[in-house]
Amino acid sequence: MDFITLKNKDKSKLVQDVLMHPLRVNKDASGLLVETLRVDWKDIYGMNREFAMQYYSITPSGVARDENVWHCHLMQEDRFLVVSGTVVTVIADNRKNSPTKGLLNLFYMEANIDPYILLIPKKTLHGFMVASKTPAILLNYPTQLYNPKDEVRIPYLDVNIKIGNGSLFSWQSVRKKLTQPPSL
């Protein structure tokens, strides 16, 4: 169970259909500017990935959203971007006919180092936890308007997704792993 960053990503070890779109930071004496979503980014926009809405969440340090359940969308894809703090996002593939079924990825997303948009494919299990000592701000650009009928939550114990040592996934295992964050 290793953290994935832009610098160490290996496409052969990613859940199928996951994308990591790097962002360019434009910095000068007056500050910085980062474009966060453009219609000409064909990998992350278009091909039925149009813009539907945008929202942000602020989550306290150490908190995992949906601590004991997987989050899943049947029709919507999420596009996560961390703009403040550090987040670990987990994506697990539980799709019936996927070649990466059973694979779990942990994405280390630090706002100030190699920012990227993470595309979370529909029907994949996912969640995130704040790894920074400060609250984190996460933006999401979902491909559809919010629809509660599209949202599914499944208890971790009901899904046979295992981490590298063979045990079932839990945020406690991620917290232990965070004592040795990736070298960036």
CB atoms within 10 A of CB 176: 11
For the cut 70, the answer to whether the pLDDT of residue 18 exceeds it is yes
**Number of alpha carbons in the 13 Å side-chain half-sphere of residue 166:** 0
Q: Where are the alpha helices (DSSP H) in 64-162?
A: none
Tokens representing 35?
């474009």
Q: What are phi and psi of 149, to 5 degrees?
A: -75, -15
In the sheet that 136-140 helps form, which strands lie side by side, from edge to edge?
A: 19-22, 116-120, 78-84, 136-140, 55-59
Confidence of residue 19 (pLDDT cuts 50, 70, 90): very high
Q: What is the mean pLDDT of residues 135-153?
A: 96
Domains of the chain: 3-24+36-177 (2.60.120.10)
pLDDT of residue 180: 67
Whole-model pTM over 0.95: no
Helix (H, G, I), strand (E, B) or coil at 121: coil
49-68 confidence digits (pLDDT tens): 888 999 999 999 999 998 88
Q: Residue 137 contacts by C-beta under 8 Å, 6 or more apart in sequence?
A: 56, 57, 58, 82, 83, 84, 85, 111
Of 61, 58, 64, 15, residue with least CA distance to 171: 64
- Give the pLDDT score at 156: 83
